[in-house]
């Protein structure tokens, strides 16, 4: 989005003229240039918006391809937003593999949360049992992450039970099966500045619950053939859901993960991704493939985030990505804030 005039993202007050790029037709469908009024679209989790009340940026990490770095990107963004930028972050783990949960609380605690019904599975089970929706506030794990320096990241944990619930939810009658999470987190999200949702690599009902509350989404991808073929279907599925729900879900961009500078395939695919105007914007910072980033999944206090993610430029790349992510959310999700 190109802003006309000397306006910083943080200076948005009421209106500013924007020129929409071609690939943002969903957001600005009628004209290529117009005065944008920052009317806040009412979100499904916010039944009674309070004027002037702050609202978090709710961002899903989504790709139908598995193993492309969705969870790693989500965890790094949360930890860096907390330590380097002082943000309060809620992580929502919707993946039954519960990798994000394990990274944030360790395997033992993840299993305890599951056996004591302190995971997101509870709210979907309640919906299926036709119980009144309970607030997810009682499920929030506060101050997660093995890193002592990370002090403002909370978590709604995943459970392996979400696999079966994904199918069961399609049989929910009498209520919209995509708004169960929205109802449970209503009243909770305004405690945070960022809500990051780690989605599994499918478009089942649990994933749809996550996308239903998202203002925007990121697409992590490895720059290889198999991974990038999947980007246009991701875009069209999300656009379809957004139009079905009459709610904007903005493409924030593609994050290149596991990048190998020496790979001719990676270079070629990057060029193609850059040139293809129908694809979302590429974040300029690429996450390098690195043993240290892979090892960061371990539930260990590495001392500093630089040590955890890699002092050889890996942490700096992730910090740069986070800084760009902050600016992008402020510009692309500016509505009413
Ligand atoms: N930059 C990287 N360098 C090396 N290994 C990485 C990098 N990013 C992620 N990995 C490793 O790749 C594997 C897959 O990463 P991750 O779990 O983040 O992907 P995902 O897209 O969330 O996968 P899934 O679709 O299964 O949820 C993990 O073992 C992770 O540690
Ligand atoms: Mg994952």
Look at residue 130 in the predicted model and tell me its pLDDT: 85
Residues 326 and 207 in one domain: yes
Inform me whether the pLDDT recorded for 21 exceeds 60: no
Residues 79 and 216 in one domain: yes
Closest to 230 (Cα-Cα) out of 290, 273, 184: 273
C-alpha–C-alpha distance, residues 189 and 100, integer Å: 19
C-alpha–C-alpha distance, residues 60 and 188, integer Å: 17
Residue 152, ligand 1, Cβ within 6 A: no
Closest to 60 (Cα-Cα) out of 87, 92, 29, 89: 92
Distance of CA 117 to the CA centre of its chain: 24
Look at residue 279 in the predicted model and tell me its pLDDT: 92
Cα distances (angstroms) measured from residue 140 to each of 11, 57, 150, 323: 33, 18, 16, 26
Return mean pLDDT, the chain.
87
Look at residue 50 in the predicted model and tell me its pLDDT: 67
Residues 103 and 11 in one domain: no
Residues 224 and 160 in one domain: yes
How many angstroms is it from 273 CA to the middle of ligand 1? 21
C-alpha–C-alpha distance, residues 269 and 273, integer Å: 6
C-alpha–C-alpha distance, residues 68 and 274, integer Å: 19
Residue 74, ligand 1, Cβ within 6 A: no
**Residue 164, both tokens:** 């079966």
How many angstroms is it from 1 CA to the middle of ligand 2? 29
Look at residue 6 in the predicted model and tell me its pLDDT: 30
- 62, 234 contact by CB (below 8 A): yes
Consecutive H or E run containing 253: strand 250-256
Mean pLDDT throughout 125-140? Answer: 89
Nearest CA to ligand 1 atom 8: 69
Residues 213 and 190 in one domain: yes
Span 179-209, pLDDT tens digits: 999 999 998 999 999 999 999 999 999 999 9
How many angstroms is it from 67 CA to the middle of ligand 1? 5
Residues 31 and 62 in one domain: no
Domain that holds residue 97: 47-332
Q: In this structure, what DSSP letter does residue 131 have?
A: P
Residues 200 and 254 in one domain: yes
Is residue 337 one of the residues assigned to a domain?
Answer: no
- Report the range out of 175-189, 223-237, 301-315 with the highest average pLDDT: 301-315
Nearest CA to ligand 1 atom 25: 66
C-alpha–C-alpha distance, residues 248 and 333, integer Å: 10
Is residue 290 one of the residues assigned to a domain?
Answer: yes
Inform me whether the pLDDT recorded for 33 exceeds 90: no
Residue 98, ligand 1, Cβ within 6 A: no
Residue 290, ligand 1, Cβ within 6 A: yes
Of 70, 72, 196, 320, the one to substitute when testing ligand 1's pocket (max ligand atoms within 8 A of C-beta) is 72
Residues 20 and 64 in one domain: no
Number of domains in the chain: 2
Is residue 198 one of the residues assigned to a domain?
Answer: yes
């Amino acid at each position: 989005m190109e802003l006309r005039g000397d306006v910083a993202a943080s200076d948005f007050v009421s209106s500013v003229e924007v020129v929409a790029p071609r690939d943002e037709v969903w957001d600005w469908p009628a004209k290529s240039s117009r005065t944008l009024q920052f009317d806040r679209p009412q979100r499904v989790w916010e039944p009674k918006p309070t004027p002037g009340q702050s609202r978090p940026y709710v961002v899903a990490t989504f790709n139908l391809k598995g193993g492309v770095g969705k969870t790693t990107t989500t965890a790094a963004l949360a930890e860096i937003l907390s330590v380097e930028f002082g943000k309060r972050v809620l992580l929502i783990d919707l993946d039954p593999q519960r990798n994000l949960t394990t990274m944030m609380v360790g395997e033992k605690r993840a299993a305890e949360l599951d056996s004591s019904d302190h995971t997101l599975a509870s709210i979907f089970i309640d919906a299926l049992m036709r119980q009144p929706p309970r607030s997810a506030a009682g499920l929030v794990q506060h101050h997660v992450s093995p890193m002592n320096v990370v002090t403002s990241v909370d978590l709604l944990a995943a459970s392996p039970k979400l696999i079966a619930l994904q199918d069961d939810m399609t049989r929910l009658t009498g209520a919209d099966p995509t708004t169960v999470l929205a109802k449970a987190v209503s009243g909770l999200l305004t405690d945070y500045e960022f809500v990051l949702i780690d989605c599994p690599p499918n478009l089942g009902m649990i994933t749809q619950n996550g996308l239903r509350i998202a203002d925007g989404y990121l697409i992590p991808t490895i720059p290889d053939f198999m991974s990038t073929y999947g980007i246009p279907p991701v875009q069209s599925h999300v656009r379809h859901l957004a139009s079905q729900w009459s709610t904007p879900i903005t493409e924030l961009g593609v994050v290149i993960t596991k990048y190998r500078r020496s790979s001719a395939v990676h270079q070629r695919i990057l060029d193609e991704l850059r040139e293809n105007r129908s694809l979302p914007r590429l974040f300029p910072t690429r996450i390098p493939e690195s043993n240290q980033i892979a090892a960061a999944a371990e539930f260990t206090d590495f001392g500093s985030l630089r040590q955890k993610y890699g002092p050889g430029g890996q942490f700096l790349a992730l910090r740069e990505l986070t800084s760009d992510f902050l600016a992008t959310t402020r510009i692309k999700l500016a509505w009413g804030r």
